[in-house]
Structure 1
């Protein structure tokens, strides 16, 4: 029986992979590499496309590859044949349910940061879904996204300007804030997670109706290797110890003028309400 369907969302480079790895270490949780399912289903959210844009039989490549590693190619023949929202999302949820049950577990955890943009659609068609938002200091997110889009431009869809990286974080924060009063949402700060992982993970376990397991804090590095795809080298730090990387890239990678501009733009953004 499936007891929970959970999504980790937020800005990229906000600690989503670390959080996913910690939670996936629970004995009742199954998780997966990022599926990007709803982006492929809907495309740019505001265009509201009614058909899936890419993928064999409507299944995104990221999910296809994961199913192949699990030896579940037959699912591609049985599911994802419809190109309409209701049936496609039903197939998606069904497949994750089945993979979780085959693992002998009861809760699945999907982590694609930009699924933040598709929460209304997810909630409409998966009404039991819960959402875990992770928030990180803007200057560190911007610096990390900027560096990774330059270093891994092919995988990130091209290099991004400093302004676009900043605008993405500002928009994501505003969007997460819009769900503060809604049920089935919890908000975690990256800085709290790395400083007090024990306390934060207990809080999230309670939200997910799970009992806290002490060994989650030790098993996560091994679990990270299963949720990080082979073409995601920028995530490999999550296989090591839990340490904060805040301020490192911001001060070493960005120019002084860029640092000043970012600090000026984010100085009035209050994220204290996410505690």
Structure 2
């Protein structure tokens, strides 16, 4: 556990009062039925890529508020497909029943695209965006699966703010997956572990951007949360979609809620959370800065 990472009890009380006064967030649960293949239309693919706790959920709700864009809760299943495709043992078995590498990829592509397209059709929309932070680790597989028409929104947030937010979740037993493994291995300081995790993940994202600059749009959480009217229209322009000002009132639109969406239950607008790491002691801040300095500078952030 790490000291100083828990959410203050006063803030929890404030959140409860807000839920009582304002009511619960607008929720819905889309039921996706089997679609007649003749009625199915392949929709343009896009992925919102960002490290956990980087503002991906907020941006997801904004995008999902658009009349043509469907953004489901975190899907996760592509990681399983990537594991299947990358397993020599499984591919050897499939070759035994006549499915070679190209045939396997085509089957996986059809399966994945169908999942997204049916969801989009059920929502009455025309295109989809997937927001699953763990997909940072399978960017090349996603690119292989969906091809050159796929677009990527690359979202970044200051690494020490990300580490602080992840440490809060970790201390409350609300964090799992690869990020938790970093903290479990670096027990001296979960916050430093998550700083390292953030830097490693951002390097993967920036490397992918360098190799596919025309298909990636970079945006920072601090920028769009502080000035949504100034920074968000460019995201929709990148997707070839008209700007719809009502997306800024994302909390007035119905959204499907997923496992991570409780973090935004009380959100009503854009209130950037920055500098949350500033209560760290000097030694820990200095060590985190050494870990993240290069990546912070490359992304245009101040190194503490």
TM exceeding 0.5: yes
Is this contact kept in 2: 1:32–1:227, CA < 8 A?
Answer: yes
Task: Find the partner of 1:215 among 236, 243, 246.
Answer: 246
Q: Distance in 2 between matches of 1:207 and 1:14?
A: 20
Task: Report the Cα offset of residue 111 of structure 1.
Answer: 0.3
The answer to whether the Cα contact below 8 Å between 1:21 and 1:227 also exists between their aligned partners in 2 is no
Secondary structure of the residue aligned to 2:287 is helix
1:27 is displaced (CA, Å) by 0.2
Q: CA deviation at 1:178?
A: 1.3
Quick one: structure 1 residues 156 and 203, their matched pair in 2 at CA, closer, same or farther if it must change by over 3 Å?
A: same
Q: What is the CA deviation profile of residues 16-56 of structure 1, one whole-angstrom value per residue up to 9, with x for unaligned ones?
A: 1111111111000111110112222234x9x933699xxxx
Where 1:8 maps in the other structure, the secondary structure is: strand
Aligned to 1:268: 294
Choose the corresponding residue for 1:137, options 158, 165, 181.
158
- How far apart in 1 are the matches of 2:263 and 2:284? 22
C-alpha spacing 1:36/1:30, structure 2 compared with 1 (3 Å): same
SS in 2 for 1:192: helix
The correspondence for 1:240, drawn from 256, 259, 268, is 268
In terms of mean alpha carbon deviation, does 101-110 or 228-237 score higher? 228-237
Correspondence for 1:101 among 121, 128, 144: 121
Counterpart pick for 1:34 among 68, 74, 80: 74
Q: What TM-score, normalized by structure 1, do the two folds share?
A: 0.76
Distance 1:51 1:21, change over 3 A: farther
* d(CA) in 2 for partners of 1:231, 1:191: 20
**After the TM superposition, which parts of structure 1 deviate over 4 Å for at least 4 consecutive aligned residues?**
none
Mapped contact 1:33–1:111 kept (Cα < 8 A): yes
Pairwise CA distance, 1:243: 0.6
Greater C-alpha radius of gyration: 2
The answer on whether the counterparts of 1:41 and 1:85 sit within 8 Å (CA) in structure 2 is no
Taking the aligned partners of 2:289 and 2:171, their CA distance within structure 1 comes to: 21
Change in Cα spacing, 1:94 to 1:50, as seen in structure 2 (3 Å) is farther
**How many angstroms apart in 2 are the aligned matches of 1:51 and 1:198?**
50
Cα deviation, residue 257, structure 1: 3.0
TM-score, normalised with respect to structure 2 = 0.69
In structure 1, what is the Cα distance between the partners aligned to 2:48 and 2:60? 7
Q: How many residues are treated as equivalent by the alignment?
A: 236
Cα distance between partner residues in 2 of 1:265 and 1:104: 45
Q: Aligned residue for 1:19?
A: 59
**Which blocks of at least 5 consecutive residues in structure 2 are unaligned?**
1-40, 91-103, 184-189
Aligned to 1:178, what secondary structure does the other structure show? helix
Q: Please, which of 217, 241, 255 is the counterpart of residue 186 of structure 1?
A: 217
Distance (whole Å) between structure 2 residues aligned to residue 232 and residue 26 of structure 1? 18
Distance 2:255 2:281 in 1: 36
Q: Distance in 2 between matches of 1:163 and 1:51?
A: 37
Q: Secondary structure at the match of 1:168?
A: helix
In structure 1, what is the Cα distance between the partners aligned to 2:141 and 2:224?
A: 28
Q: CA RMSD in A?
A: 2.8
Displacement after TM superposition at 1:196 (Å): 1.5
Tell me which of 158, 169, 172 is aligned to 1:148. 169
Consecutive unaligned residues in structure 1, runs of 5 or more: 53-83
* Distance across 1 between alignment mates of 2:261 and 2:89: 28
